[in-house]
């Protein structure tokens, strides 16, 4: 019988089938909490410091005090991967407001809940071309920055779920959300880049985007390769008339967009710049300096 994965819950490890949280947890009742999705490549946690920093920034923005230091949280992530003997994995780190009552008042939640899930996941990065996906433009708009901004990586993903439902109903892979002004924001769970005449652009913070860890690394990769990336408003017209469009995210890595609402992008396959970035990023995730080793080091300084 295959051994169950172990899940970290508030300082203890439980078998997957026995890992539970309270039904009165405000993370369940109201989506009140924050999380991170993190990748492990060849026994090294990719950009772990960046993920931990973003987790604490998200928590600060919703007045959620995480009951652990950054160092302790880092060690908890590493130990969760170690306990499960994983070398290539996806890690979900969650901090919820914790148990309270049936009201929305967070002051009644005394103890935040922390749980960490690590499951095996092989990378698709490598010598092959990235996957080509089809998308639609969602009628659901991305929450504006003065509302439940997606700059906060919160547990409330209903906005993205509604967009994904639209994609499912249309028989495509994903949906692109526009902001309240009608400019391109991002896909349901990934950031977006467009290429036109070898120039690269990606929506800016004003479009209510998540400040993606992979997005930031792709922007820096472009700079290293001598490719300028403009962070600005992107119109739907620019999206459908682009030479190349690609999506990036921790779990999805890099995806090439072949069509938008039935309109072919480029030749409908993988563009040359997307392919080059995909190949270079495949090398980056394996670099020791890009990650935090799981097994070679017992502690990490923050």
**All domains in the chain, ordered by first residue:** 6-120 (3.30.470.10), 132-284 (3.20.10.10)
At 291, give phi and psi (nearest 5°).
-135, 180
Q: Give which of 73, 85, 33, 40 is closest to 251, Cα–Cα.
A: 40
> Residue 1: its pLDDT value, please?
65
Which pTM was predicted? 0.94
Looking at the DSSP assignment, which residues form a beta bridge with residue 257? 133
Mean pLDDT over 66-84 rounds to: 98
Confidence at 292, pLDDT banded by 50, 70, 90: very high
Those residues whose C-beta lies under 8 Å from the C-beta of residue 167, and which sit 6 or more positions away, are 135, 136, 138, 173, 174, 175, 188
Q: Is 60 a catalytic residue?
A: no
Q: Which residue has the higher pLDDT, 264 or 143?
A: 264
From first CA to last CA, the distance across the chain in angstroms is 39
How many residues comprise the chain?
Answer: 302
Residue 297 has pLDDT above 70, yes or no: no
Per-residue confidence band for 148, with pLDDT thresholds at 50, 70 and 90: confident
Position 133 confidence tier, pLDDT thresholds 50, 70, 90: very high
Sort strands 174-178 and 184-187 into parallel, antiparallel or unpaired. Answer: antiparallel
Candidate list 128, 153, 199, 251, residue with the active-site label: 153
Percent of the chain residues topping a pLDDT of 90: 91
298 or 184, which is more confident? 184
């Amino acid at each position: 019988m295959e051994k169950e994965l172990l899940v970290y819950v508030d300082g203890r490890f439980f078998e997957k089938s026995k890992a539970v949280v309270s039904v009165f947890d405000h993370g369940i009742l109201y989506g009140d909490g924050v999380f991170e999705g993190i990748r492990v490549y060849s026994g090294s946690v990719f950009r772990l410091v960046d993920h931990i920093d973003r987790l604490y920034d998200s928590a600060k923005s919703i007045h959620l005090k995480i009951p652990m230091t950054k160092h302790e949280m880092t060690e908890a992530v590493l130990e969760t991967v170690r306990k499960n003997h994983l070398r290539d994995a996806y890690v979900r780190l969650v901090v919820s407001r914790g148990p309270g009552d049936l009201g929305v008042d967070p002051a009644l939640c005394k103890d935040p809940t922390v749980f960490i899930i690590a499951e095996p996941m092989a990378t698709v990065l490598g010598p092959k071309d990235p996957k080509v996906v089809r998308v639609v433009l969602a009628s659901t708009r991305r929450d504006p920055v003065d509302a439940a901004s997606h700059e906060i990586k919160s547990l409330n993903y209903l906005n993205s779920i509604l967009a994904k439902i639209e994609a499912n109903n249309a028989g495509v892979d994903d949906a692109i959300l526009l902001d309240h002004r009608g400019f391109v924001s991002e896909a349901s769970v990934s950031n977006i880049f467009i290429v036109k005449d070898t120039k690269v652009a990606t929506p800016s913070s004003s479009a209510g985007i998540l400040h993606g860890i992979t997005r930031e690394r792709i922007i820096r990769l472009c700079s290293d390769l001598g490719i300028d990336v403009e962070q600005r408003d992107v119109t739907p017209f620019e999206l459908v008339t682009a030479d190349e469009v690609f999506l990036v995210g921790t779990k999805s890595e890099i995806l090439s967009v072949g069509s938008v609402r039935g309109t072919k992008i480029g030749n409908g396959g993988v563009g040359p710049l997307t392919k080059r970035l995909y190949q270079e990023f495949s090398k980056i995730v394996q670099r020791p300096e890009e990650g935090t080793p799981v097994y070679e080091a017992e502690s990490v300084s923050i």
